[in-house]
Amino acid sequence: MPDEPTLLLLTDQPSLRLRLLRTEDAGELFALVDRNRAWLRTWLPWLDANTTVAHSLSFIESMRLDHASGDRLACGLFFKGDLIGVAGPHVIDRANRACQMGYWLDEAHTGQGLMTSAVRALIDHAFTTMGLNRVEIRAAPGNDASQAVCERLGFIREGVIRDAEWLYDHYVDLTVNSLLLREWKVQRSEEENP
């Protein structure tokens, strides 16, 4: 598969970049997932389906095709050149100009504001380049790190969807958080004119 299209997003952290994953990233992605398997398993339902480099390669190829067709976007988070996570709108609803953002981060890089910076860059991209009106993040109650990203970025907690996701052997609820274009514009205006 050709390594087009390309996308690079800059963040407010000088050493953090977001870009579309490339096929040559498959080995590094799988190693990152494998190293964080226990950490990620608490919240993410797809780990049992990712057991080889070929699975990571298939994910990358699928995401690149989806990006080319405008259906999804998954960027690798590269900190000082190393892959440390994945983030992006994994569901894009063009008819309603909305998306659901998803993300995960290497445990060793948590608590540094890196995911907040990455999601901020993706929100900017969603509103300015993709022309969306609503960005949504769903997180399980108890996933305090994901909820903190939402709070730092000014998302509004709308409610809880009960038994929304099957997580290996049980259902989990999901908290729905959203940010609208008009709210983002107010945030930007306040940042530019304190």
| pLDDT band at 7; cut points 50, 70, 90 | low
pLDDT at residue 2 tops 50:
no
We find that the CATH architecture of domain 8-192 is 3-Layer(aba) Sandwich (3.40)
End-to-end CA distance of the chain: 47
**21-45 burial, b for 16+ CB within 10 Å, e for fewer?**
beeebbebbbebbeebeeebeebbe
Cα separation, 86 vs 106, in Å, equals 9
pLDDT digits 0-9 by tens, 55-83: 999 999 999 888 888 888 889 999 999 99
CB 165 within 8 A of CB 140: yes
CB 110 within 8 A of CB 145: yes
What tokens were used for 69?
């067709």
Which is more confidently placed, 2 or 92? 92
Overall average pLDDT of the 13-34 stretch: 94
